[in-house]
Structure 1
């Protein structure tokens, strides 16, 4: 039914303590995504490592917070040379 399933969306503080649903271990990591916002500077790589360790091959970490945290770009894009 889905090519990619988001199994986490929330704040960095919550993500650090979040648990992975047991049933996800029976599926390939490329099927799962974690969306993490309010990520402190310099922690985006940690989100990537954590997502992979929790069985999610796709992730997005943004520094934004509030009503629409997704309006901010990931730190890696902000730092990319233009």
Structure 2
């Protein structure tokens, strides 16, 4: 991890309502079944609260859905990751 001081004025745009993807995992061991949900027009706090309420005692992950410079859809993991990915 690398940390450096920054200037809050250097950003060119902001988004206040985003799309988040929630993965809720079930099962134990090496393979988990997963339910996946997209939450649109939400803040991070709203998406996290929804995920925690829905997951109850199961593991969950939360990602920001975005597109890259070529318009391909992808995820930026905010909490956790895909539990079925090889570490």
Q: TM-score, structure 2 length as denominator?
A: 0.28
> Which has a greater percent of strand?
2
> Which has a greater percent of helix?
1
Larger Rg: 2
